[in-house]
């Protein structure tokens, strides 16, 4: 009986020490474990921090549930934790919720909820969310197709250096979608995107310059260079 009691006390001490050790770990410890590929430790730490209201931990554990790291993939749980963080103003969580609802990862797409969360992220000037809304308006996804709205949202994202938006602007100005045709603005945005490493924009740039007046090319390059120097 005495040995049994000793074993029970030893187990209680081990378990208690394990709990205290994990409780003392911070989000940064979990992040370090995640970066080292120790996903089980990361998950344990993130979960504890998430339950204490840490938005970064809530986002991290949601991401792990979404792609199935350490735990089986569980999109409803991912949505739960993303929502907890998003309601605290966590921009990436707001954006990721938008993508989940837009693509229907948890069933049928819900474009209304997608738009709601994208808009929340744009309140914090998140360029990927601005671009996503531009795409929805351009394609007519969950909203009426509206090139003018698409152009405006792309402009916001492009101004922050998002090359996908800059490239799309180049195409839209060339085709007169959302406003008058402008070879100068088309070339300008494609030039900027190309300089920032967008190879598709570089291809469009070479195609579009054929037949352009040299004065227009010079003006577009002047505007693009000024933009690049100030951003």
What is the rounded distance in angstroms from the CA atom of residue 86 to the CA atom of residue 227?
33
pLDDT digits (tens, 9 = 90+) for 148-187: 999 999 999 999 999 999 999 999 999 999 999 999 999 9
pLDDT band, very low/low/confident/very high, at 18 (cuts 50, 70, 90): very low
Is CATH 1.25.40.10 what the domain over 89-160 is classified as, yes or no? yes
What integer best gives the mean pLDDT of the chain? Answer: 91
Residue 7: pLDDT above 70? no
pTM comes to 0.86
Residue 204: pLDDT above 60? yes
Average pLDDT over residues 47-74: 95
SS3 of 42, please? helix
pLDDT digits (tens, 9 = 90+) for 102-141: 999 989 999 999 999 999 999 999 999 999 999 999 999 9
pLDDT digits (tens, 9 = 90+) for 42-53: 999 999 999 999
Element (H, E) at 145: none
Task: Map out the domains of the chain as residue ranges.
Answer: 23-74, 89-160, 166-231
What is the rounded distance in angstroms from the CA atom of residue 6 to the CA atom of residue 186?
79
DSSP at 38: -
């Amino acid at each position: 009986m005495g040995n049994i009691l000793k074993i029970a006390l030893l187990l209680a001490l081990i378990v208690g020490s394990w709990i205290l050790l994990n409780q003392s770990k911070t989000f940064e410890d979990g992040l370090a474990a995640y970066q080292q590929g120790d996903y089980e430790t990361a998950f344990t730490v993130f979960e504890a921090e998430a339950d204490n209201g840490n938005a970064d931990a809530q986002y991290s554990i949601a991401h792990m549930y979404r792609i199935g790291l350490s735990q089986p993939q569980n999109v409803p749980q991912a949505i739960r934790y993303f929502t907890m963080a998003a309601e605290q103003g966590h921009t990436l969580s707001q954006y990721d919720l938008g993508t989940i609802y837009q693509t229907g990862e948890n069933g049928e797409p819900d474009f209304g909820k997608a738009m709601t969360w994208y808009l929340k992220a744009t309140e914090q000037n998140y360029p990927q969310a601005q671009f996503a809304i531009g795409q929805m308006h351009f394609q007519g996804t969950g909203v009426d197709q509206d090139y003018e709205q698409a152009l405006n949202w792309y402009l916001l994202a492009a101004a922050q250096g998002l090359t996908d938006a800059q490239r799309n602007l180049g195409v839209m100005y060339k085709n007169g979608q959302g406003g008058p045709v402008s070879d100068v603005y088309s070339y300008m945005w494609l030039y900027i995107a190309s300089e920032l490493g967008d190879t598709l924009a570089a291809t469009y740039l070479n195609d579009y310059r054929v037949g352009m007046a040299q004065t227009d090319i010079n003006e577009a390059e002047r505007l693009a260079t000024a933009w690049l120097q100030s951003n």
